Structure 1
Amino acid sequence: MNALGDAQLARMGRDPGLVAAVDQHAAVLRDAIPLDRETLGDYLLGFLDELRHRGWVFGDEPDAPSLRLTAVCWLTRELDLLEDGLAA
């Protein structure tokens, strides 16, 4: 959340196109996995492992991986899945 989520979530307030793209990724996640803390956390860890394996680095412009990560952060906030409101 600290590395990418906070900035991307703030950017969503100024960029309707980003909102739409993140919403599409969130819909894929809603259809694919149960949206509970443990499952979403496990998904995120696996996704990040794959991104590290591929050498992915977040750039200035949103790409598919950053949109998916932003969707995970957005869902985490929307569903109040952060423990005691602490950053993930």
Structure 2
Amino acid sequence: MSPLARIAHAYTPRFAEFAFEPGFTAAVDQHVAELRDRLSPAGPGGALAPAAPDPAGLADYALGFLDGLAELDWREPAGHDFAVCRLTAITWLVHRHGLLGSPADGPHER
């Protein structure tokens, strides 16, 4: 299973928390923006409507992020830490842009 598929499978259920956790929603939104800036070929400050991230670039980033978490022996907390927000943001991008072959059906527009 690809790193994007693994992350999306594990973190899609976190989208339900957007309805009652505005702080989590805002944090994930910031992570989405940072990932778009980091992975955009044009760099930060691109177009008004951001393009989909390159799936291979996002997968490489995700794999490196997961490797870093494994080295730290990170365990998912009950709440929201940096890693949960980043992994949920990756999942949101995967869903929003249909990077696993499904239609763009993110929880809401960004």
Answer yes or no: same fold by TM over 0.5.
yes
Residue of structure 1 aligned with 2:90, choices 72, 77, 85: 72
Aligned residue number for residue 2 of structure 1: 9
Aligned residue number for residue 72 of structure 2: 54
User: Aligned partner of 2:79: which letter?
Assistant: E
User: Aligned partner of 1:66: which letter?
Assistant: V
Structure 2 matches for 1:9-48, cutoff 5 A? 9-34=15-40, 35-48=53-66
For 2:30, what is the secondary structure of its paired residue?
helix
- Structure 2 spans left out of the alignment, 5+ residues: 1-7, 41-52, 104-110
Give the Cα–Cα distance (whole angstroms) in 1 for the partners of residues 65 and 37 of structure 2: 16
- RMSD over aligned Cα atoms: 1.3
**Structure showing greater relative contact order (alpha-carbon pairs closer than 8 Å, 6 or more residues apart):** 1
For 2:9, what is the secondary structure of its paired residue?
coil
Rg comparison, structure with higher value: 2
User: Aligned partner of 2:58: which letter?
Assistant: L
Give the Cα–Cα distance (whole angstroms) in 2 for the partners of residues 36 and 14 of structure 1: 31
- For normalisation by structure 2, the TM-score amounts to 0.70
Give the Cα–Cα distance (whole angstroms) in 1 for the partners of residues 78 and 96 of structure 2: 25
User: Aligned partner of 1:67: which letter?
Assistant: C
- Identical-residue share of aligned pairs (%): 40
Change in 2 beyond 3 A, CA 1:68/1:20? same
- For normalisation by structure 1, the TM-score amounts to 0.86
- Structure 1 spans left out of the alignment, 5+ residues: none
